[in-house]
Amino acid sequence: METKLRYVAPPVSPERALRVFTEPERNPGIPLDLDLVRALRINRSAVERRAATIPTRRTVKKEWQAAWLLRAITCMDLTTLQGDDTPTNVLRLCAKAKSPVRPDLLDALGASDIGITVGAVCVYHAFVPIAVAALQGSAIPVAAVSTGFPAGLNPLPQRIEEIKASVAAGAQEIDVVITRAHALAGAWEALYDEVRAFRQACGGAHMKVILGSGDLATLVNVARASQVAMMAGADFIKTSTGKEPVNATLPVGVVMTRQIRDYHERTGYAVGFKPAGGIRKAKQALDWLILMKEELGDRWLRANLFRLGASALLTDIERQLEHFVTGRYSAAHRHPMV
């Protein structure tokens, strides 16, 4: 009988555990375990019932809601990925990233001295040098979408060169797009090799692997693609490009976070999670924070392990914060993005 080998993580010392809680050790990836991947099954009805409880079972009100919304801002990848992007828009976005909430609101909230900034600024490769220069000295990283975003169908050598070019231009994070056809065809070895090549090209830049969950047809494919991406060395797994007809949904979030939890329990490596696309309201941001807290714990409520991919979201969060301070809702134009 053939013996199947399963990766077993080395024991973790208390000192190492304390260090990686605040700054997780980067996931180096592990050998592809096809037996584990193919054995994954998802109970769709149970997942949908679990997801349906998230917006209804918990509520966060008053000062606690304001605090959670400030936390959401610190976990936000402030994004502009439009065909009409210009250098001026990117510069304005970077200015907003450094000062995402009006100073008078921060003063009223008692949060003016805690240094609220977003988690990153996400742009196309062409705007990476502009964003890097604008954010210099702020400690806010620049994330570049790469590998033929959003379709991910460019030739593999071209996609790898695009990653290297973005890293050379100063991007500290790279959002890569998988070939969805690999997942749809069950070609898990091909997907693993592809993501592994992306990881090697990223070098020291952190890699967020976009699954395009709305294109993957089933939750089983989402779960299997999540595991393969993490085995190949993903620092984050991300739901969507934001360009699909269906983007980040809570059922997909339940599946992906549980795969992260399983991978962490098996290997000791913490992988981050980024829902993206369609998250426009403060209430949605709270739902995602609640999901993270319940499924993965407080450790995943920080920017090093959780990001919200959004553009319009920040405007609504600022409006909610002003309502908390003044008791009145303001017009959106009082909180311009750019």
Q: What is the pLDDT of residues 255-279, one digit of tens each?
A: 999 999 999 999 999 999 999 999 9
| 274 is known as an active-site residue | yes
Residue with tokens 């807290």: 293
Token pair, residue 247, equals 């983007």
Which tens digits make up the pLDDT trace of 115-173?
A: 999 999 999 999 999 999 999 999 999 999 999 999 999 999 999 999 999 999 999 99
What are the phi and psi torsion angles at 111 (to 5°)?
-120, 20
Q: Mind giving me the DSSP string for 108-135?
A: HHT-TTS----SEEEE-GGGHHHHHHHT
Residue 174 carries which DSSP code?
E
Nearest 10 degrees: CA dihedral of 240, 242, 243, 246? 70
Token pair, residue 298, equals 């407080």
Sign of CA dihedral 43, 48, 54, 57: negative
Residue 338 CA to residue 315 CA, distance in Å, equals 11
Percent of the residues in the chain that have a pLDDT greater than 70, as a whole number: 91
Residue 70 CA to residue 278 CA, distance in Å, equals 20
209-224 average pLDDT score: 97
The single residue of 33, 208, 235, 274 carrying the catalytic annotation is 274
Distance of CA 275 to the CA centre of its chain: 5
User: Which alpha helices (DSSP H) does the chain contain, by range?
Assistant: 14-22, 34-39, 44-57, 62-74, 87-98, 103-109, 128-134, 156-168, 180-184, 188-202, 219-231, 250-267, 282-295, 313-326
| 104 is known as an active-site residue | no
Residue 152 CA to residue 180 CA, distance in Å, equals 8
What pLDDT band is residue 108 in, cutting at 50, 70 and 90? very high
Token pair, residue 265, equals 């329990």
Residue 326 CA to residue 225 CA, distance in Å, equals 46
| 175 is known as an active-site residue | yes
The single residue of 77, 238, 287, 316 carrying the catalytic annotation is 238
Architecture, CATH, for domain 26-53+61-334: Alpha-Beta Barrel (3.20)
The single residue of 33, 77, 96, 175 carrying the catalytic annotation is 175
248-258 average pLDDT score: 97
Percent of the residues in the chain that have a pLDDT greater than 90, as a whole number: 85
First to last CA, the chain: 64
Calculate helix-pair angle for 282-295, 44-57, nearest 10 degrees. Answer: 120
pLDDT for the residue numbered 266: 97
**Closest to 231 measured CA to CA, from 20, 23, 28:** 28
14-32 average pLDDT score: 71
CB 227 within 8 A of CB 36: yes
Residue 78 CA to residue 317 CA, distance in Å, equals 13
Residue 320 CA to residue 329 CA, distance in Å, equals 7
What residues contact residue 319 under an 8 Å CB cut-off, 6+ apart? 282, 329, 330, 332, 334, 335
What are the phi and psi torsion angles at 234 (to 5°)?
-65, 135
Q: Residue 16 pLDDT more than 70?
A: no
